[in-house]
Structure 1
């Protein structure tokens, strides 16, 4: 048991209080999910950071946040929208620094439409990457300065390699790869993408973060691990071949399923 990977979780401050003992019983990585809404980032979030610091006294795992994502993409062609996205990313990193966090999740810009159409244009792939650079350049510098990784999470991605090409194009240790197992399983079941373990193999040691959720291959379920149809043995076998030590973050819609998720993976001999 002691050699099995330790599962962390994505929680709000409210659910962290409920699962406080569980999150402190081992060095479980934590992702706080209170700080992505624009209303929070534009307001006074310092009391929430203070509460988090109190709750995390004795916490041994790594800490990060889910960054802002609602209502925009990092490849917007609208110059004014890109300015807002720059602001949001920097606001998220300000929170991360205040927390002492070392990762922030950023959503992938690659859609299902892109998969079929990027090569329909002479410079489609290069243009997309250039737009992301224009949007993220300030955030990347800021992340480097504070020792934070911007981990780019697959959303609609059908091709697991395109997002890796984007991350590597920054030439920065502060831009790495995230995988969401449920998103990958949706893409596999609904759009013909490879299975989840192929996403892990494609990322290789660029993978620094993974959202673990179960699903049915049809929708973004965020079910308790073991309640869907993901082949967890293949996923953890692929993870076991990596040296990059990715954060293993259980991300559920119903946070009450966290203990069962850990218990189910333990029963399979995959994690603790």
Structure 2
């Protein structure tokens, strides 16, 4: 039983007040989501972060945060936008350093349009432009993340190509960049845009995968349902995860946090995770 993968959760500090025992008693992976809300990094975030540290006294699990993402495009060709995004990423890393967090979720620059249009340009020119713009935006943040021991994990949002984020991550050749998968986003891409199924996303990420948002969905929208409410093939997903040696953080990211414990029990009952 205890060889099953251990599930963590994505919650706010307020929600941690109620789920502390669930997280701390088994040192489950935790992703704090207070610091990606618009305006959060411009306000005084330290009281919230300090409360998190108090609640996590004695905690020895893997701690991360969801980094800033609203309105931020990490591959913008506009140099002024690049500066704004760089600053936001550095602010997120400052939060990580204060908390002792070792992972920060950021969002993919790729959209469905890219899948159908990047090959319009000769050779790999359009693909390279995205990489170049991402480096212009993220290189400083990657260097800082390396210094403080944080890995930024790039989450699929509208990605149709399951390989493209791994290729971007590999282009940085840095321990501070890795792949994240959101199961609901991948399932939406499969059901609505013709992308491969979720387990294919896992296999194509391979051991570059260090983080996964677990949510159930119907393939039409970004539902963030309790596990078991949608139609993702969870047996296939966990079979694919079982082939990896990278031990990605398995983070339940649900719209209704009351679904966290039922999701754990649903997966435990099927001998998939605990």
Distance 1:139 1:61 in 2: 24
1:269 counterpart residue number: 271
Contact 1:38/1:88 (8 A) holds in 2 = no
Does residue 144 of the first structure (1) align with residue 146 of the second (2)?
yes
Distance 2:71 2:178 in 1: 23
List structure 1 runs of 4+ shifted beyond 2 angstroms.
none
2:234 counterpart residue number: 232
Distance 2:59 2:218 in 1: 33
1:34 counterpart residue number: 34
* TM score, norm. by length of structure 1: 0.99
Contact 1:6/1:27 (8 A) holds in 2 = no
Deviation at 1:79, TM superposition (A): 1.3
Distance 2:225 2:246 in 1: 26
* TM score, norm. by length of structure 2: 0.98
1:129 counterpart residue number: 131
Distance 1:28 1:131 in 2: 36
SS in 2 for 1:39: coil
Q: Which moved more, 1:75-84 or 1:159-168?
A: 75-84
SS in 1 for 2:9: strand
Does residue 190 of the first structure (1) align with residue 192 of the second (2)?
yes
2:90 counterpart residue number: 90
Unaligned runs of 5+ in 1: none
SS in 2 for 1:176: strand
Q: Which moved more, 1:54-63 or 1:243-252?
A: 54-63
Give the RMSD, CA atoms, in angstroms: 0.7
1:75-113 deviations in Å (ceiling 9; x for gaps): 112211111000000000000000000000010011000
SS in 2 for 1:65: strand
Unaligned runs of 5+ in 2: none
SS in 2 for 1:40: coil
Deviation at 1:39, TM superposition (A): 1.2
Deviation at 1:31, TM superposition (A): 0.2
Distance 1:176 1:10 in 2: 18
Q: Which moved more, 1:12-21 or 1:175-184?
A: 12-21
1:131-169 deviations in Å (ceiling 9; x for gaps): 000000010000000000010000000001011110000
Distance 1:52 1:24 in 2: 12
Distance 1:38 1:144 in 2: 25
Aligned residues: 272
1:206-260 deviations in Å (ceiling 9; x for gaps): 1000000000000000000111100000000110111001000000011111000
Q: After superposition, where does 1:191-270 map in structure 2 within 5 Å?
A: 191-270=193-272
